[in-house]
Amino acid sequence: MADSTYVEIAKFTVAGGVDGKYKGKAADLMAKAAEAAVKASSKLTLDKPKEKGAKGWCVLGTLDSVAPDKAGKKFEAKVSMTIATWPAKSMKSFPSGSAGFPIASADEKISAGDADQLISRAVKAAMQSGVPYMEKTRPE
């Protein structure tokens, strides 16, 4: 583990404007998707270091929206994340991600399960730039 960098997945949040019917499991889904991205890396670990003075990364995230786009042709989820140093919490990178699928109109009913999948995919999209950043950059 000496060559693996620790990553703390902080508690994710849901923006106030997100429809209540999609909020339920959103924070947990986001954390699980972020954890899966870290676990897939051979250079990062979720195992907290025991050595004193160790440095790593902290990933924070917010579900910004889960709704039809302005044109009413796509239902999408958008997330924003912050990668900060651990334990100092100095912000270093700000990946974001989105995922969506086409809809017939903004009035189309979307199941909570479909929204859950979109939320996970949006986090995965954000982590596609977040993980390489954490792998290539030494936390200070």
Q: Which of 104, 110, 3, 124 is nearest to 61 (CA)?
A: 124
Nearest CA-CA partner of 8 in 51, 64, 49: 49
pTM, to two decimals: 0.91
Sign of CA dihedral 16, 18, 19, 24: negative
So where are the chain's domains? 5-136
Helices 112-136 and 26-39 cross at an angle (nearest 10°) of 40
CATH 3.40.50.10610 is held by the domain 5-136:
yes
pLDDT recorded at residue 1: 43
From 51, 39, 38, 41, select the one nearest 2 (Cα to Cα).
Answer: 51
pLDDT tens digits in sequence order for the chain, 140 residues long: 457 999 999 989 999 888 888 888 999 999 999 999 999 999 999 999 999 889 999 999 999 999 998 888 999 999 999 999 999 999 999 999 999 999 998 888 888 889 999 999 999 999 999 999 999 999 98
In this structure, the chain runs to a length of 140
